[in-house]
């Protein structure tokens, strides 16, 4: 199972780089897209219930990308899952008349559940989805990814509390803890012990290596058994994971690839684990 997920995450990372290259001189968010690729591989590679031929199935699981600027990772995952074709990735990304802009816009037919990009709103949206599923007695599960820098938003803390108040055991939050945000290291800007804080608020908390797909998968399965409280999986990740000159280099929060960098990135990802 782990090897299968690893192959999916490799495909996602390669598609991120290929699509970023297609964007030419337009700057794109690459580092944070690469850091969450293994989480996306587990979700779209075997955990979530969805049907590309029936994308509006009311009983489908929902995925919400709260850190919407990293949507290149989502688009790549949807491409690998079969929602978006290679041609659509090539012709729609960052195009004026395309459906793949620099932040995701809701498009259920293509698997995009939520317009996002204003940091701090994704978990609140997911809580609304989880509450609706409870009220309608649906078995849908809601999955949300937030960034550690994003969690400085006050709206995230309101959402953390609300999820506990409403006993939303049908929501799983992934916190992509790559340690960097647009203007520096999170430890220097707003250091928070999210493990202790979320436990204190009443969440079920797990910590995993965010690049170990087996750990992510097991923690996700464990969350399914949690009753009457929401679950968060804190994933320790590396921004720019898989490309040596991008790893832990915040210059790649947002940037564009030269031809030499593109070929190096493709070679490293193709030959990496």
Q: Residue 116: which CATH number? A: 3.40.50.970
The pair of three-digit structure tokens given for residue 185, joined into one six-digit string = 């290291």
* Reported pTM: 0.97
Residue 125 to residue 131: CA distance in whole angstroms: 10
Q: State the residue range of the domain holding 29.
A: 2-271
Q: How many domains does the chain have?
A: 1
Q: What are the pLDDT tens digits along the chain (273 aa)?
A: 455 999 999 999 999 999 999 998 888 999 999 999 999 999 999 999 999 999 999 999 999 999 999 999 999 999 999 999 999 999 999 999 999 999 999 999 999 999 998 999 999 999 999 999 999 999 999 999 999 999 999 999 999 999 999 999 999 999 999 999 999 999 999 999 999 999 999 999 999 999 999 999 999 999 999 999 999 999 999 999 999 999 999 999 999 999 999 999 999 999 987
């Amino acid at each position: 199972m782990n090897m299968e997920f690893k192959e999916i995450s490799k495909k996602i990372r390669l598609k991120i780089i290929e699509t970023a290259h297609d964007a030419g001189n337009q700057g794109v968010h690459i580092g944070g897209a690469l850091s969450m690729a293994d989480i996306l591989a587990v979700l779209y590679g075997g955990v979530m219930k969805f049907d590309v031929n029936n994308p509006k199935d009311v009983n489908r699981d929902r995925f919400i990308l709260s850190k919407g600027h990293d949507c290149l990772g989502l688009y790549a995952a949807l491409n690998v899952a079969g929602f978006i074709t290679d041609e659509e990735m090539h012709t729609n990304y960052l195009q004026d008349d395309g459906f793949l802009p620099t932040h995701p816009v809701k498009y259920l037919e293509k698997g995009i559940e939520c317009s996002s990009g204003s940091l701090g709103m994704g978990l609140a949206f997911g809580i609304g989805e989880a509450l609706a599923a409870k009220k309608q007695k649906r078995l849908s599960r809601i999955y949300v990814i937030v960034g550690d820098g994003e969690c400085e938003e006050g709206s995230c803390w309101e959402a953390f509390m609300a999820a506990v108040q409403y006993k939303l055991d049908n929501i799983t939050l992934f916190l992509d803890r790559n340690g960097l945000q647009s203007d520096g290291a999170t430890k220097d800007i707003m250091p928070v012990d999210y493990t202790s804080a979320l436990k204190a608020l009443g969440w079920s908390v797990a910590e995993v290596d965010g690049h170990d797909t087996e750990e992510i998968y097991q923690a996700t399965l464990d969350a399914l058994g949690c009753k009457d409280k929401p679950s968060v999986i804190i994933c320790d990740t590396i921004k720019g994971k898989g490309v040596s000159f991008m790893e832990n280099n915040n210059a790649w929060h947002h940037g564009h690839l030269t031809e030499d960098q593109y070929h190096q990135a493709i070679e490293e990802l193709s030959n990496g684990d």
